[in-house]
Structure 1
Amino acid sequence: MLVFGEPYEASNGTVIVTVSRKGWGSRPERPVGIYSVSAENTAWIPAVDTSLHALIGVCTGFAAAVIGTIAVLRRPPWPEMTERVMTAIAEARIAESRQR
């Protein structure tokens, strides 16, 4: 439910009306924006909650760090390709080609 505040008239004749959203239960009201009404035009200026944007950024970074850590700590599903393994594969192919 939107709650409109008392109109405030600025020194230049612009009327400003605050708009907030009523919280559920014991939650406080949250600002939604303001209406700015002047002789020339009416404008809606939304209120931006930057703390929510920051929280989304932190959560995204944390998820990326967890996924990266899991990828490093867990062995990959493909076979291990060390120098010793690659040498053994090459020798097996050479031996197989000599038998033909």
Structure 2
Amino acid sequence: MLIFGEPYEASNGMVIITVSRTGWGHRAERPVGIYTVGAEGVTWTPAVDASWHALIGVCTGFAAAVIGTIAVLRRPPWPEMTERVMTALAQARIAESRHR
């Protein structure tokens, strides 16, 4: 349910009306935004909960860090291609070409 606050007249002649939403159960009201009424017309300005946006950003970063860590720590399914292995493969190919 939306709750409209008492109209407040600012010093520049604009009238500001706050809008909030009741919480479920015993939760407090949450701001939704404000209506600004002036000579130019009525404008709606939504209230932005920056803490919610920050929480989503932190959770996304944490998930990316966990996935990256798992990808680095897990051994890949293909064979290990170190310098020693590559040298051994090259020597095996040279030896095989000599036997033909």
TM-score, normalising length: structure 2: 0.89
What do residues 74-96 of structure 1 show as CA deviations (whole Å, max 9, x unaligned)? Answer: 11222111111111111111122
- Residue 12 of structure 1 and its aligned partner are, at CA, apart by 2.4
Deviations 1:48-86 (A, max 9, x none): 111011111111111111112112221122211111111
User: Aligned to 2:81, what secondary structure does the other structure show?
Assistant: coil
Identify the residue that residue 57 of structure 2 maps to in structure 1. 57
- 1:42 corresponds in structure 2 to 42
Match of 2:31 in 1: 31
Structure 2 unmatched runs, 5+: none
Shift, 1:43, TM fit: 0.8
- SS of 2:39's equivalent in the other structure is coil
Number of aligned positions between the proteins? 100
1:10 maps to what in 2?
A: 10
Question: Between the two proteins, what is the percent identity of the paired residues?
Answer: 83
Unaligned residue ranges in structure 1 (runs of 5+): none
How high is the TM-score relative to the length of structure 1? 0.89
Report the alpha carbon displacement of residue 11 of structure 1 after superposing the two structures with TM.
2.4
Q: Which amino acid aligns with 1:73?
A: L
Establish whether residue 88 from structure 1 lines up as the match of residue 74 from structure 2. Answer: no
